Amino acid sequence: MPIDPVLAVVGERATQSTYDQVYREMGLDQPVIVQFLYYLRDVLSGDFGRSTTTAHPVIEDIARVFPATLELATLGTLIGVLVGVPLGVLAAVKRGSLVDQIARVLALVGYSAPIFWLGLLALNVFYGQLGWVAGPGRVSIFYMDLVPPVTGLVLVDAILDDNWDVFWDALSHIILPASLLGYYSLAYISRMTRSFMLEQMSAEYVTTARVKGVPEWRVIWGHAFANIRVQLITVIALSYAALLEGSVLTEIIFAWPGLGNYIATALLSADLNAVMGGTVVVGCVFVCLNLFADFLYRFFDPRAR
């Protein structure tokens, strides 16, 4: 461990007797393999320990902050899919044209530029200079705790409570970080969509369909795109999982109270229980999304059934 977990609990001014007592209570006097088995037992029962930063059970902290990350990543993925997929298809159909060049440049910038730099730039321009969107945070201070947390998703809870003032305020706060994550997702999705479509557009069945006089839009969307849906499922699922676990810098820049911000704060505070708990949750998210993608394979591709 990078720090002494006992000192993280008792502090550096604790007496030796207090240190020894907490050392035994935490099970650190046991062999490492025994400690590991105890940890696995606790994790499987939903016990990630207690956070030294908040003094709450880690599982309660994660349940509190995860909906914010889920809301942000979901909206970002929707933006990436709704813009990235048509852009990738258009770039493949118009290969070598100006549209294709623009799409490739946009994907290159989104895939290469540091996301924290893009976040600071967007915050300075659209919030600081133009005032088009609200600033950091999830909602304005005035609107905090005005809607009951039914789902944990502020936008959904505001709709359920019929409180449109909170909804529009929350939307103004989330639109900038979600668009930033959406651009990052868009860059990956559009690039992969273009690659998949180029492979299909050069296939013999596409040439045959065109010779038979099938309308071009049907050749593109009904034939070529239909054959890349299964591949796109994997791309979108991995992109979604990456946003759920990789939005740490975005959440820090926009003061977004989500899982990424929670793990980063815990790491800086040497709160190892919180860091390990958050890491395990991220791993479970990846596994679940991959299993969900496998399920969708059977739905979209009859051969998988």
Hey, what amino acid is at 87? L
* pLDDT of 7 over the 70 cut: yes
d(CA 160, CA 139) in angstroms, rounded, equals 17
Q: How confident is the model at residue 246 (pLDDT cuts 50, 70, 90)?
A: low
Mean pLDDT value across residues 238-252: 81
* pLDDT of 33 over the 90 cut: yes
Buried b (16+ CB within 10 A) or exposed e, 80-112: bbebbbebbbbbbbeeeeeebeebeebbeebee
With H, G, I as helix, E, B as strand and everything else as coil, classify residue 3: coil
Domain 60-304, CATH number (from 3.90.25.10, 3.30.830.10, 1.10.3720.10, 1.10.3470.10): 1.10.3720.10
Beta carbons of 180 and 173 less than 8 angstroms apart: no
pLDDT tens, residue by residue, 157-201: 889 888 888 899 889 999 999 998 888 888 889 989 988 998 888
* pLDDT of 235 over the 80 cut: yes
Mean pLDDT value across residues 236-254: 82
d(CA 132, CA 126) in angstroms, rounded, equals 6
The pLDDT value recorded for residue 113 is: 83
| Cα 288–chain centre separation | 14
Beta carbons of 88 and 193 less than 8 angstroms apart: yes
Beta carbons of 198 and 88 less than 8 angstroms apart: no
With H, G, I as helix, E, B as strand and everything else as coil, classify residue 27: coil
Torsion angle (degrees, nearest 10) of CA 64, 266, 292, 160? 20
pLDDT tens, residue by residue, 35-70: 889 888 988 888 888 887 888 899 999 998 899 988
Predicted TM-score (pTM) above 0.85: no
Q: Where are the domains of the chain?
A: 1-38, 60-304
Alpha-helical (H) ranges within the chain are 5-10, 16-25, 32-44, 58-93, 98-112, 115-122, 154-160, 164-201, 204-211, 216-218, 229-246, 248-253, 259-268, 272-300
Mean pLDDT value across residues 3-25: 81
Beta carbons of 149 and 113 less than 8 angstroms apart: no
pLDDT tens, residue by residue, 94-137: 888 888 888 888 888 887 888 888 888 888 888 888 888 888 88
Average pLDDT of the chain, as a whole number? 85
* pLDDT of 85 over the 80 cut: yes
